[in-house]
Amino acid sequence: MITQEIPTQVKHAELVARRRRQIVDAAVPLFIKSGFHKTTTRQIAGAAGFSIGSLYEYVSCKEDILYMACDAIHAEVKQGVGHVLARTDRARDALAAAIREYFLVCHRMSDHILMIYQETQSLPPQWRKKVLENEIAITGIFVDILARLVSSGELPRMNDKAIELAAHNISVLGHMWTFRRWFLSRHYSIDEYIAHQTRFILGHK
Amino acid sequence: MITQEIPTQVKHAELVARRRRQIVDAAVPLFIKSGFHKTTTRQIAGAAGFSIGSLYEYVSCKEDILYMACDAIHAEVKQGVGHVLARTDRARDALAAAIREYFLVCHRMSDHILMIYQETQSLPPQWRKKVLENEIAITGIFVDILARLVSSGELPRMNDKAIELAAHNISVLGHMWTFRRWFLSRHYSIDEYIAHQTRFILGHK
DNA sequence: ATTATCTATAGATCTATAGATAATGC
DNA sequence: ATTATCTATAGATCTATAGATAATGC
């Protein structure tokens, strides 16, 4: 949880968590709309329903807010995809199902994922590192699925490096829907996109 | 050429072109290092070797500089890949060769391509549109190659939508090397990356 | 004379904090 | 009393331009 990582003078821990949630909920749409740099701390405080002074009781700088926003988005993506792993399905279709689930999450959270692509650079190194680790963790879900299917013989043999790269490819092809959406959505529905990309990933069969 | 699109009071056209090239050459490394918003117009003018006053004789606003920078980068990418098309090779290897050439351009221009991903949002709509059109033009190169190979029977039949999406995938998997480089380059050399991705794209054969 | 460049600054922000006020809980 | 919130603002920028100066070409 973010709450532990950013210092605050406020004692009541549950209040800190609540206010920070308010801050994130206020900030994300603003960052999506105007970008990090053009969004002011006053706007965020206003949208969250308190004053600029109070805002700074819960964060130490504007960058903290961006980090909390990125972290919350990644948490939601993880949660959206995570329950796919729960199904201990070993069928080859398990991969297609996981891809579908993940791509639908990317579709639903298109603006949010795009925002992370655009603003990660604005994070201080320590926060950026954490955000990139989250990205790896999400890719890791696909590494697991692929490895399982390969070892059970549902997918052709691949070495670890090939598996890892395939997992990155799946991650990125999901993101592609978000950062090329301005083009893709004019030519493909999300279902068409998923169908085509699944075929592409599984080897044009 | 950019030169025609941005108004200026300066008469001598060749001077305008030269100064704008200076501006772009000065701005790109600064944008890469600090991002668009944290780079000041003064820094750019200074790095270009003239004053802030002169800078504004050649651009009407800071965003113009970003647009010129993105445009110059895309021109270089196009040029780097374009000469692949010149070879009217119809062998199946033509695709592998084109992928290789393109991925090497992405490798060489890693920082530049990443910068475009991060800063396109900061462009005014009219400039953003042009930058995205450039992106489509580059993808178009792969559409052409794929279409040619399909129609000559070197690649299995695919409908137009599948071809177009495959071309986008190639473009984006090249970009992936730039925006996941912090991870990928620790695990794969660019040659390994190209080898794996070529196999992935051509269908895991 | 005309054109290009420079210096100095107007004007507009925006982040982060200090100090004052309001709300809470023992 | 202690804790949380608010108001007001210090301090630091930064973009873009106006007006003065230097360079160029007929």
Residue A179 forms contact with B (CB below 8 Å): yes
Whether A176 sits inside 8 A of B172 (CB atoms) is: yes
Whether A176 sits inside 8 A of B180 (CB atoms) is: no
Q: Which of A38, A98, A106 is nearest to A73 (CA)?
A: A106
Q: With a 7 Å cutoff on the CB, does A162 touch strand D? A: no
Residue A97 forms contact with B (CB below 8 Å): no
State the DSSP code for B205.
-
Structural domains in chain A, sorted by start: 13-202 (1.10.357.10)
For residue B188, list chain A residues with Cβ-Cβ distance below 8 A.
161, 165
Whether A35 sits inside 8 A of B136 (CB atoms) is: no
Q: Assign B11 a pLDDT band (cuts: 50, 70, 90).
A: confident
- B48, B26 Cβ separation under 8 angstroms: yes
Q: Assign B90 a pLDDT band (cuts: 50, 70, 90).
A: low
Q: Could you give the CA distance from residue A180 to residue B156 in angstroms, rounded to a whole number?
A: 26
- B47, B26 Cβ separation under 8 angstroms: yes
Residue B160 forms contact with A (CB below 8 Å): no
Give the rounded percent of residues in chain B with a pLDDT score beyond 70.
Answer: 94
Residue B37 forms contact with A (CB below 8 Å): yes
Entry field: residues in chain B: 205
Per-residue tokens: A68: 């909390």
Between CA B64 and C1' D23 the distance (Å) reads 27
Q: What is the CA radius of gyration of chain B?
A: 19
To the nearest whole Å, the CA of A73 is away from the closest chain B CA by: 18
Evaluate if residue A204 carries a pLDDT over 60. Answer: no
Q: Which nucleotides of C are covered by protein (CB under 7 A)?
A: 3-9, 13-19
Q: Which of B16, B15, B43 is nearest to B28 (CA)?
A: B43
Can you tell me the mean pLDDT for B188-202? 97
Evaluate if residue B93 carries a pLDDT over 80. Answer: yes
Give the dihedral sign, CA B16/B18/B22/B28.
Answer: positive
CA of A65: nearest nucleotide by C1' is C15
For residue B162, list chain A residues with Cβ-Cβ distance below 8 A.
196, 199
Tens of pLDDT, residues B48-78 = 999 999 999 999 999 999 999 999 999 999 9
Entry field: residues in chain A: 205
Model-level pTM?
0.94
